[in-house]
A and B are shown apart, each in its own frame.
Chain A
Amino acid sequence: MEETTLNNNINVKLTEKFGEKVTAVSEPYGLLTFVTYKDVIVNVLSHLKEELKFNFLTDITAVHYPGKDHGIAVVYHLHNMVEKVRIRIKVFISEQNPTIPTATTVWKGANWMERETYDLFGVKFEGHPDLRRILNMDDLGVHPMLKQYPLEDPNRVDKKDEFFGR
């Protein structure tokens, strides 16, 4: 109950400041989640960091929804250690032009998190100091976590289909 009133307060404060740029507010499993847009995301993050005391960036990642209009969702998890509240922010960007401003101006720790998201999903973070691949090889060519790419290496010659039940 206390969690929901805390979440309510944050919700109210955010809609005061950002109006209709903060949408789709929900609370799955007690964690306040909302959707915002890429043109205000840096302002939202710094507002949350400075005013609402969400001083810790837990994680940045992405989810791919093929077929949807804006098919890649960049997801930020923040944490307010003092009041013990977590929050999740989603920004939907299009697959054809997956750009979003970087969060490294707000937290330096976003550096590698954004590089990983770029490597796996192809999300280009504008203003990132060093946006290059981090986990895969530089010449991989594709962004492997997108749903259209297979899990297994398609160039394997030694897998006989009849042994694998295909």
Chain B
Amino acid sequence: MFINMSEINIVDAPPGIEGSGFFATSIDKVIGLARSNSLWPLPFATSCCGIEFMATMGSHYDLGRFGAERLSFSPRQADVLMVMGTIAKKMAPVLKQVYIQMAEPRWVMAVGACASSGGIFDTYSVLQGIDEVIPVDVYVPGCPPRPEAILDGFQRIQDLVKNESGRRRNSDYYKELLGQYGIK
């Protein structure tokens, strides 16, 4: 099977000034481009959505082609926290601990109805959405969401990463947002 190189899509370069031997653009755009195509996810898989995530990582719906081939189970080395599955109130402190241990910049994706809002489990023991304990960037609805939906959510995270300003993490707005959750 001979693959013609011109059929393969490579990421577009950001707008900038080009010359022989140099390319000038804003640093935010270059860093955003590099980060968004090499995100290391932390799969926080608790239940059924975790199995759909395993299907997304498999060969049929490959997540690796978006740059997320290397899963990191250590929060210190991860970029995206993908929370997949129901979070019970017993698990909420553990989730918060994992989020606090992640280094900036970090993004959070709530996969599934249970992580987004408690799902079908409106009971005394289930946390009604992880945004009660940590700030969330992208919500992927579904019970469980199809792998295509998880990939779509991942691409939304990539858009957020690509367009993020370098100053956001130190801004007052962000500090106030984390303050609402009790995170310094």
A: residues with CB less than 8 A from B are: 136-137, 144, 149-153, 156, 158
Contact = CB atoms under 8 A, between A and B. Distances in A.
Nearest to A154: B124
Contacts of A158: 128
Residue of B89, B124, B128 ringed by the most chain A CB atoms within 10 A: B124
Tell me the dominant secondary structure on chain B's binding face: loop
Tell me the dominant secondary structure on chain A's binding face: loop
B89 A152 contact: no
Contacts of A153: 122-124, 128
Contacts of A144: 124-125
Interface of B: 89-90, 122-125, 128
A161 to B, nearest CB: 14
Contacts of B128: 153, 156, 158
20 contacts: A136-B90, A136-B125, A137-B89, A137-B90, A144-B124, A144-B125, A149-B124, A150-B124, A151-B122, A151-B123, A151-B124, A152-B122, A152-B123, A152-B124, A153-B122, A153-B123, A153-B124, A153-B128, A156-B128, A158-B128
B145 to A, nearest CB: 23
A156 B124 CA distance: 10
B131 to A, nearest CB: 11
A27 B123 CA distance: 35
B46 to A, nearest CB: 15
A153 B90 CA distance: 14
Contacts of A156: 128
A153 B89 CA distance: 11
Nearest to A152: B122
Contacts of B123: 151-153
A150 B123 CA distance: 9
Task: List the 7 shortest-distance A-B pairs measured between CB atoms, nearest first.
Answer: A153-B124, A137-B90, A152-B122, A151-B123, A144-B124, A136-B125, A152-B123
Contacts of B124: 144, 149-153
A64 to B, nearest CB: 16
A144 B125 CA distance: 10
Contacts of B125: 136, 144
Contacts of B90: 136-137
Nearest to B123: A151
A137 B123 CA distance: 14
Nearest to A155: B124
